[in-house]
């Protein structure tokens, strides 16, 4: 399986992931510390860096396997 933009055929893609993070609370501030792995699936938003197309990742799926430079 491979992914590419259905509009411009670019392979420069970003995908929205879900991760678990520890919430660190301080007296006047807070921060987060990512713990464990991240996940995404065919309903996660994917965005093309080249043309800006954004849709569920299953829209970017392709059977074509192209060699990357």
pLDDT for res 31: 96
**Boundaries of every domain in the chain:** 2-62
Residues 6 or more apart whose CB falls under 8 angstroms from that of 13 comprise 3, 4, 5, 46, 47, 48, 49, 60
pLDDT for res 65: 65
Find, among 4, 1, 7, the residue nearest to 60 by Cα. 4
What does the pLDDT profile of the chain (69 residues) look like in tens digits?
899 999 999 999 999 999 999 999 999 999 999 998 999 999 999 999 999 999 999 999 998 765 655
Does the pTM of the predicted model rise above 0.85? no
């Amino acid at each position: 399986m491979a992914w590419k933009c259905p509009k411009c055929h670019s392979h420069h893609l970003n995908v929205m992931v879900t991760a678990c993070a520890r919430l660190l609370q301080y007296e006047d501030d807070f921060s987060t510390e990512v713990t464990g792995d991240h996940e995404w699936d065919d309903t996660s938003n994917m965005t093309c860096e080249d043309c800006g197309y954004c849709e569920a990742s299953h829209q970017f799926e392709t059977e074509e396997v192209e060699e990357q430079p």
